[in-house]
Amino acid sequence: MHQSVDRFDLVVIGGGAAGFFSAINTPEGSKVLILEKNKRPLQKVKVSGGGRCNVTHFCFDPQKLVENYPRGSDFLLEPFGRFGPQQTIDWFNQRGVSIKKESDGRMFPDTDSSQTIIDCFLNEARRKKVELRLLSKVLDFENSDDGWLVRLENEEIRTSKLLIATGSDKHIWERLKAMSLDIIEPVPSLFTFHIEDSALQGLTGTPFPEIVVRTKGLQSRGPGLITHWGMSGPGVLKLSAFGARVFFEKDYCFDINVDWLPRFSESDIINELKTEQASNPKKKVRNFTPLGLSKRFWEFICNKSQVSEHQNWSETGKKHFKRITESLKKMSFEVNGKSTFKDEFVTAGGISLEEVDPKTFQSIKYSGLYFAGEVLDIDAVTGGFNFQAAWTGGWHVASSI
């Protein structure tokens, strides 16, 4: 093993979103090296948002922004005040990348291509002479008298500052544990729900602009989608994030309760049904599609509510109204498993935030050791929030160099 002649101001282990963003934001003239174990950097950036890259979210109040982080909300409040979504948008604009807002608040490059973000980062790295080494697996690192020593297979590298931005890399976590750093064991977050209900399978692809999903002690509100395996959509994903540890402990077997029409009260629904009954007593109940529901979904509700195929409104009384209302407002399902949401695998867990200074993202125990991105016990709901935490952490580390 030979020792590198070069000494770096910052070595970044991990060429993902947080690590790369930190490297390209260091002061001009800094000597920076990124070590990435894969053959390409920024792989999650490439696939995120269906290949469009959901850069951030249209939310500029740090207090409201942190509500989207099941873990890390208190820690991120002040950092978001220094570098949040507005600063992220400005940063990209200054480098010729325009960011647009969609109706749900998600923000993407105007090109709708994650390659635009990757090219921007690579160009900035070239401009600032950041060195990028691919297929470079770090075996070990240790504190030395004048900074940090990083060991690769055939080389030792010296650096003043070291940033760990490796996500949930078990090898790196074991090394950090050996340094007496507290690691919160990772569990999956942002997943969809498996539900074995044959009636649901006939509704695959049915969207809902807003649902409320409840389980014991938790609830979330947002768009929903019935899939061939169960349920998905931002409302479900949000619940999966906030309940990540609870659901892990239950081995992903638990009951949920779904309100398909949260914008309507039970009395609103009954009044709608009564109005239709008074206007069309001889018409079949199943030919009606109330409150913006699809015909297919309304038939599903009728089946759940024991409304017969040929039943007309004059044959429908309080008992049926109650069943229909309960089916729409309090439908119960058994969840018996999970699936990753698209390619956006996110974990809850990582370096305990008790170990990290939120002003610099530096280790409290070890001077010159920094953390950013998913290696920290920070995660968010879907919508660009996880990337925002990566940009924020990376910027703070770079500002400390």
Question: From the first residue on, what is the mean pLDDT of each consecutive set of 10 residues in the chain (401 residues)?
Answer: 79 99 98 98 94 98 99 99 99 99 98 99 99 98 95 96 95 97 95 93 95 98 96 96 98 98 97 96 94 96 96 96 98 94 78 99 99 98 97 99 92
pLDDT at 4: 65
Question: Alpha-carbon distance 78 to 136, whole Å?
Answer: 34
| Residue 162 · residue 368 · CB < 8 Å | yes
pLDDT at 28: 97
Helix (H, G, I), strand (E, B) or coil at 278: helix
Domain residue ranges in the chain: 2-187+343-399, 191-340
Q: Nearest CA to 222 among 251, 232, 293, 38? A: 232
> What is the sign, positive or negative, of the torsion defined by CA atoms of 319, 321, 324, 329?
negative
| Beta pairing, strands 346-351 & 183-189 | antiparallel
Tell me which residue has tokens 């920076």. Answer: 32
Tell me which residue has tokens 């309507």. Answer: 264
pLDDT at 343: 56
What six digits make up the tokens of 266? 């039970």
Question: Alpha-carbon distance 182 to 373, whole Å?
Answer: 16
Q: Nearest CA to 306 among 280, 281, 324? A: 324
Question: Alpha-carbon distance 230 to 200, whole Å?
Answer: 7
DSSP state of 41: S
Q: Nearest CA to 131 among 166, 159, 92, 151? A: 159
Strands (E), 26-124: 32-35, 56-57, 99-101, 106-109
Question: Alpha-carbon distance 124 to 116, whole Å?
Answer: 12
What six digits make up the tokens of 155? 């080389």
pLDDT at 340: 77
What six digits make up the tokens of 351? 């370096």
**Domain 2-187+343-399 fold:** FAD/NAD(P)-binding domain (3.50.50)
pLDDT at 344: 58
pLDDT at 5: 62
**Ramachandran sector of residue 375 (left: φ over 0; alpha: ψ -120 to 50; beta: rest):** alpha
| Beta pairing, strands 155-164 & 207-215 | unpaired
